Structure 1
């Protein structure tokens, strides 16, 4: 918490106004005067460098507007964070949202994800042929700054499934851990994982 970050955090103690502008070039919009929240004023997150560069740790401040009502968030992550604790949304399988979009925006794991998507679709098609509907869930838990996404859930069967792009020990262990984590929010789950053989 040095330099500019320290100035933001300590702006009230140093009797400095904190003014927020939206934009970096072109049209710049003045958003107004803000103060840093007294409770949990900041948290760490991963974000890409400019122009989708490599991930780095960043500090994100929780700001409150002065003299005006807070506006609704305009970013996808902001809208998710504005939800109630343990927000669980049901999504269609076609929604192409994954945890990696928030964790790894460079798309370095595109090929394994494509194999996972094929596995999920094939399994959903099989379930549909047996008369069962499938969906997935987006879960936002307290204290987290990015959502979790299940791969497939069949409510009629109480079946929660996680797909992986290969059968390595690391992927199998990760699938088991993810299922244990997700099953806290999808009830009542029968957890299952399925992996794509290595090419």
Structure 2
């Protein structure tokens, strides 16, 4: 028999778990120190049910991040189809999506679906065979941000679903890729770019315990090649935006790599396991301890982005017992106030200076 928890009671009555826990505390006090969640026996469940409000069609959001419940219970409370990866609630404005890489492998969904190093989640649209179109659930996801609808993502393993959290679409909203369908024939698939609003992305990691055990990995660094660029397919159906990395930035990294080689401090790759995924700075100079984030412009927005990214890399490297120092790589000197900001934060700036590079130390 299924255990009765605040999550299951909240779903049954369409109330928040806070209201359920308030009743539990009034009846039984606080949760025992040796317990991580409430699990009620039949008598306790009956008593709590008697003190909750009458079930109505007006539903509060009942689930909290990390709750694992039967999928049918979600649809019993909020409506929507019991099967399929994307469904819209008939009682709220939420869109529910379910990811199950093992089950989705027969449709090619597993090839591109998953966490990305930038914290976004790639989610493959509906359609087991043939080109996917912007209809039904795919159309709902495409228009979700414009319509103010929240995307609620679940990690599914039938018959259960674990609530990962609330997401919205990023920029770009989606990309088009070729993947095999159920019939093994290549077809065009829509891959949505989802970014968290209030979520725990680590719940999406396929091997969370394994990732926690990983150590930073240092490997050989090779200059980026323009052929590595991921082009977004243009089309009238797709929203504007792209993820194309500029050739200017690629060339900047390649030239800096050669400069480092010439001074006897070659660049390496540094892969850091963080939050259920792997993040990686543009390069790592082991001899100096530099983690490097490159940007194609000295414009304020680019420099601010580089500062945030490199501090994140440095923080996580230190958490994993790797001594590092942050560096940003730019095609020239940034504005004086941004140079001061970088220095205040302990960031070294490598700025292109003709055929060489100037190091601005904090």
TM-score (norm 1): 0.58
Gap runs ≥5 in structure 1: 1-8, 27-32, 63-76
Residue 308 (structure 2) pairs with residue 177 (structure 1):
yes
Larger RCO (CA under 8 A, 6+ residues apart): 1
Alignment of 1:22-171 (within 5 A): 22-23=106-107, 24-25=128-129, 34-37=158-161, 40-43=162-165, 44=167, 48=174, 51=188, 55-57=192-194, 83-85=210-212, 87=214, 88-94=216-222, 106=232, 108-110=242-244, 112=246, 114-142=247-275, 147-171=278-302
TM-score (norm 2): 0.35
Gap runs ≥5 in structure 2: 1-68, 77-81, 85-102, 108-127, 131-156, 177-187, 233-240, 333-362
Q: Name the stretch that deviates more: 171-180 or 46-55.
A: 46-55
Q: Would you say how many aligned residue pairs link Structure 1 and Structure 2? A: 159
**Greater share of residues in helix:** 2
| Higher Rg | 2
Q: Deviations over 1:56-86 (max 9, x none)?
A: 5489xx9xxxxxxxxxxxxxx9668674138
> For the residues of structure 2 that align with 1:82 and 1:196, how far apart are their CA atoms?
41
> For the residues of structure 2 that align with 1:109 and 1:57, how far apart are their CA atoms?
14
Shift of 1:120: 1.4
> For the residues of structure 2 that align with 1:124 and 1:49, how far apart are their CA atoms?
31
SS at match of 1:132: coil
- The answer as to whether partners of 1:11 and 1:18 remain within 8 angstroms in 2 is no
Q: Deviations over 1:73-109 (max 9, x none)?
A: xxxx966867413853334333869xxx9xx973824
